[in-house]
Structure 1
């Protein structure tokens, strides 16, 4: 028992880094967002939308998947999507670093729990199961919500276009498509309010 608890404490200590590992998003009060804050709100969204989903999900599994997904960033760091979406070499490095991080977590725990976390992380990455698709969609939707709440001056130009690139992540589930439409509408309102021409952005 003591040995197992020591292993758990190592992972909990590792997770503390997520409280100061900063994302590219900014909060409505002008402070930069931490990975831990993002993960917490994605988890909250999962609890809130779960009753509205068209298929049954195992909420315990969904929450575990969401929480474990970003744990690797405590070791690998966070790279924003706009840095990797057009850079295959950087994307490969990101994948390698994150894969090594989840292997290290599995090795540290060295038990059934470590294997479960490892399997859940890869299930999220592969996005083949319904739970994994929901987790991925909520991850993307929360990021856009946070952008909508932040001052427009914190947005990079690429993020104007990215505001309308969420369809592929939600097209499997009506509830998430409807949620995406609401979030996109907020983004459009924010961009228009800042005097940004959307003609060439929404494609």
Structure 2
């Protein structure tokens, strides 16, 4: 029992990691724990629009574990492309450590979920990626481009980073976002 309690208390550290986008109406940045909770619920709501009829309970599980490694590595803005391989390697080490806190190999299944998300080969992982990529866009659209403006992120950079994963997992979501990004471009809410 103590190992499980130590694990869940270790997860609490995710609340102290800062992301680059603000929750609606708040003057602070969100954390990955809030992000993971929100996109897990987003998956439940968006499930009828997923490609490949994924197991939504598995999608929720993928989304709940996908950022756990950020306890050790911190968050990197979704629109940053440089250094991806190094960040993913560091996150893998962190995931092994954190899920390794669980006794009797219990962490293996959680680590496998994290790997499934990273590899993006199943319908569940593709849908989870679509949602994960969409949420920062949706928050920026609702916040008048807050993190795009603060970090010099262009319209083209956003589209390049999110179009393919969203189209693969939830094309109707991409259709909506593409339209909204066009309107946002006209309003001039991007940073570059």
The TM-score range, normalised by the shorter chain, is 0.7 to 0.9
Q: Give me the CA root mean square deviation.
A: 2.3
Cα shift at 1:49: 1.5
Larger Rg: 1
Give, in whole Å, the separation in 1 of the partners of 2:164 and 2:145. Answer: 25
Q: Which residue does the alignment assign to 2:139? A: 146
1:180 to 171, 174, 180: 174
Change beyond 3 A, Cα 1:161–1:54:
closer
> Quick one: structure 1 residues 96 and 172, their matched pair in 2 at CA, closer, same or farther if it must change by over 3 Å?
closer
Q: Which runs of 5+ in 2 are unaligned?
A: none
SS in 1 for 2:30: strand
The aligned residue for residue 70 of structure 2 is 73
**Matched residue pairs, number?**
188
Contact 2:51–2:168, Cα closer than 8 Å, also in 1: no
Alpha carbons 1:124, 1:136 under 8 Å: kept: yes
Specify every segment of 5 or more residues in structure 1 that has no aligned partner in the other structure, as ranges.
Answer: none
Distance 1:60 1:7 in 2: 25
TM-score (norm: length of structure 2): 0.86
Measure the CA separation in 1 of the matches of 2:101 and 2:44: 29
TM-score, normalised by the number of residues in structure 1: 0.82
Alignment of 1:19-168 (within 5 A): 19-29=15-25, 30-83=27-80, 85=81, 87=82, 90-155=83-148, 156-165=151-160, 166-168=162-164
